[in-house]
Amino acid sequence: MDAKSRPAVPPDIIESKARWHREQAALPIREKVRILLELQRQELPLVQRQRPLRPWERPWPIDP
């Protein structure tokens, strides 16, 4: 699908996404790391189902 055939994104969705990004950027670093680790924990089982984990993909046992 090229850019001309894509439907236009409503301005309220664009502003909502921009607001979410600003809120995420304003979070303290500890919270950002907590979110990152949680997302990695969620993704790990999905990757493991597809193939063995590579050494650098194995998670460290840390909690912020």
Residue spans per domain, the chain? 23-51
pTM over 0.75: no
**What pLDDT does 10 receive?**
86
Mean pLDDT across the chain, nearest whole number? 86
Find the mean pLDDT for residues 3-23.
87
**What pLDDT does 3 receive?**
61
Q: In 19-28, which positions are buried (b, 16+ CB within 10 angstroms) versus exposed (e)? A: eeeeeeeeee
Q: CB neighbours of 32 closer than 8 A, spacing ≥ 6? A: 24
Q: How far is residue 23's CA from residue 37's CA, in Å, rounded to a whole number?
A: 19
Residue 1: both structure tokens together: 């699908």
Find the mean pLDDT for residues 45-62.
85
* Alpha-carbon torsion (21, 25, 29, 30), positive or negative: negative
